[in-house]
Copies of this chain bind each other. A is one copy, B any other.
Amino acid sequence: MVTLKELAKILNVSVSTVSKALNDSPEIGERTKTRILELAKELNYRPNRIAQQLKANQTKTIGVIIPTVLNPFFAEALHGIEQEAAVSDYDIIVCLSDESLDKEIRSVELLSNGSVDGFVIALSEETQIKDYNKHLVELKLQNLPVVLFDRSIPSFKGHYVLVDDFQSVYDVVKHLIEKEHRKHILLLSNIEDLSVGKRRIEGYEEALKEHDLTASVLNLNRESDLRKSIGTFLDNNPQADAIISIDHLTGVIALNYLKEGGKTIPNDVSVVGFGSPSTQILTNPEMAVIYQRAEDMGKASMNLLGKILSKDKTLREKQSLNRIKSALLKGETII
């Protein structure tokens, strides 16, 4: 890597002159400026980012911790985060928790040592179940801003980006009942342990209750053979005229199963799932989906974090704090 020092040596000027010239400081004369600029270009000089980060006490990097990237929802969210980060010149460091609290904690610790300026996190399933918050509190203590999205835990108050899962399912079920005159609506889930799952099921139950219909929920979270379980469930509920799936998978499976059983979709049975347009293309007729705007949530989260980072005085506080620290260490007195 070409450094300032080398440029300075070659041109017989001081390092600070080179630095100022490259930063287009008005202090430097035009002639020397061009000389320096030209050489820098020729040698393809690029300021060492790490050194800049150390100096500025700022990394322009965000830590992103999500459960997995295999789930299309998080893949899309990550895409949104990356896009939004790019426009603000932020890099993202990605860690995957695999739905494990332990890995999540380790990732937080790994990155909260100066590696990043802030975090965008989707909590792991285990974190939610255990309602564990110490690692998040620790970040707060260190003045590292965090934005949580999609999943929340009661014990931690902070910046959240969430959609109203209760309302969205409630609305859909209400529509099925009132507009499509459905009376036997089944709910399929493999995410009932998650906060979003719970909320969605509540929305379903509430809508049914208001119309004096009975709820029928199939929980598959720890099920391995999804298709078999769903098949059995559907066979046991032949009167079903609507299915609502609250994840991105069970709806597709149910729809295929029903079609194979000779049902016409959506005439005989309405099938509504969660997901995004890319989920829909896989079924024919296209399954109705509650459009989970994962990408938008990602963007919104990153955007929020960016605002916090720029507005927050944390940065300036850090800077001045450092001055104070230095002074104290030298034994000076602070006014």
Contact = CB atoms under 8 A, between A and B. Distances in A.
Interface of A: 1, 5-6, 9, 44, 46-51, 53-54, 59, 61, 68-70, 72, 75-76, 78-79, 82-83, 86, 91-96, 109-115, 138, 142, 226-227, 249, 252-253, 256-257, 259-260, 278, 281-284, 325, 328-329
A226 B278 CA distance: 12
A91 B91 contact: no
A113 B329 contact: no
Contact of A96 (B6, B53, B79): B79
Contacts of A70: 72, 75-76, 79, 278
B325 A6 contact: yes
Nearest to A111: B91
12 contacts: A1-B113, A46-B112, A50-B54, A61-B93, A69-B79, A70-B72, A79-B96, A91-B93, A91-B111, A227-B281, A256-B256, A259-B260
B69 A113 contact: no
B259 A113 contact: no
A281 B83 CA distance: 30
Nearest to A89: B110
Contacts of A112: 46
A324 to B, nearest CB: 12
Contacts of A278: 70
A252 B282 contact: yes
Contacts of A83: 96
A110 B52 CA distance: 14
B93 A51 contact: no
Contacts of A109: 46
A278 to B, nearest CB: 7
B281 A253 contact: yes
Given A72-B75, A227-B281, A256-B284, 17 more contacts: A6-B325, A9-B328, A47-B113, A49-B114, A50-B115, A69-B79, A69-B82, A91-B93, A91-B110, A91-B111, A94-B94, A226-B281, A227-B284, A249-B282, A253-B282, A256-B256, A260-B284
Contact of A82 (B5, B54, B96, B281): B96
A39 to B, nearest CB: 15
A241 to B, nearest CB: 21
A203 B68 CA distance: 34
A1 B138 CA distance: 12
Contacts of A68: 79
Contacts of A69: 69, 75, 78-79, 82
